[in-house]
Structure 1
Amino acid sequence: MRSKIEEYEAVEKAAEKFVRSVAEGDSSYAKELFIDEAVLFGYLDGELEHGSIEQFYNNVDNVSGGENFNARIDILLLEETLAVVRVLEEGWGDRIDFTDVLLLLKMNGEWKCVAKAYNQNSNTIEE
């Protein structure tokens, strides 16, 4: 059964916490979205990051989105208790473009992120 539009809006509003944290360089908004046990997977400048979401918080708190940062949220899948969200980021830290995939579960009536995986666009990798 397709979810109602208001549910799509609720998922988008949840994902906006992620984007706001990245844009402002302040993990406090993302900490409202991610559960404590959330995991992170991806390559940052060719180095594998995996494990606790704390690594993401550290990255965000040390680098703000920057002057030209831009983001787009796409809801790829929405079921009754499961959502897959893609966030396109351009210009993080004034140099990196990412595609993030967020896996959200509806827990106690609230959309929470349990996992984040990402790709750094190859033309923005510094070695």
Structure 2
Amino acid sequence: MRANNAEYQAVEDAAMKFVKSVAEANSSYAKELFVDEAVLFGYLDGRLEHGSIEQFYRNVDTVGAGNDFNARIDIVSIEETVAVVRVLEENWGGRIDFTDYLLLLKMDGEWRCVAKAYNQNSNTVQK
């Protein structure tokens, strides 16, 4: 059964915490979204990052997004208790483009992120 528009808005609002953290270089918003046990997987400048979401928080807090940063949220799918969100990021840190996939779970009536997987566009990789 398709979720109603209010549920789509709730998922988008949750994902905006992720975007706001990245845009403002302040992980506090993302910490409201991610559960403590959340994991991340992806390659940053050719090096595999995997494990605790704490790595994402450190990256966000130490690299400013830059004036040209922009992002787009696409809701890929919503089921009763699970949602998949794609976030397109451009010019993070002034040079990196990412595609992030966030896996959200509805817990106690609130959408929370349990996993983040991402791709860095190959033309933005520096080694």
TM-score, normalising length: structure 2: 1.00
Aligned-partner Cα distance in 1 for 2:3–2:76:
13
SS of aligned partner of 1:6: helix
Quote how far apart the aligned CAs of 1:89 are: 0.1
- For structure 1, list consecutive stretches of 5 or more residues without a partner in the other structure: none
Determine the structure 2 residue equivalent to 1:8.
Answer: 8
1:79-94 equivalences in 2 (<5 Å): 79-94=79-94
Total equivalences in the alignment? 127
AA aligned to 1:71 is A
Quote how far apart the aligned CAs of 1:64 are: 1.6
Determine the structure 2 residue equivalent to 1:17.
Answer: 17
Off by >2 Å, runs of 4+ in structure 1: none
Quote how far apart the aligned CAs of 1:106 are: 0.1
SS of aligned partner of 1:64: coil
Q: What do residues 29-73 of structure 1 show as CA deviations (whole Å, max 9, x unaligned)? A: 000000000000000000000000000000000012111000000
Aligned-partner Cα distance in 1 for 2:64–2:23:
6
Determine the structure 1 residue equivalent to 2:103.
Answer: 103
Determine the structure 1 residue equivalent to 2:28.
Answer: 28
Quote how far apart the aligned CAs of 1:22 are: 0.3
Aligned-partner Cα distance in 1 for 2:55–2:66:
19
Determine the structure 2 residue equivalent to 1:40.
Answer: 40
Determine the structure 2 residue equivalent to 1:121.
Answer: 121
TM-score, normalising length: structure 1: 1.00
Alignment RMSD: 0.3
- For structure 2, list consecutive stretches of 5 or more residues without a partner in the other structure: none
AA aligned to 2:12 is E
Aligned-partner Cα distance in 1 for 2:74–2:86:
5
Quote how far apart the aligned CAs of 1:86 are: 0.1
AA aligned to 2:48 is L
Aligned-partner Cα distance in 2 for 1:6–1:64:
32
Aligned-partner Cα distance in 1 for 2:94–2:67:
7
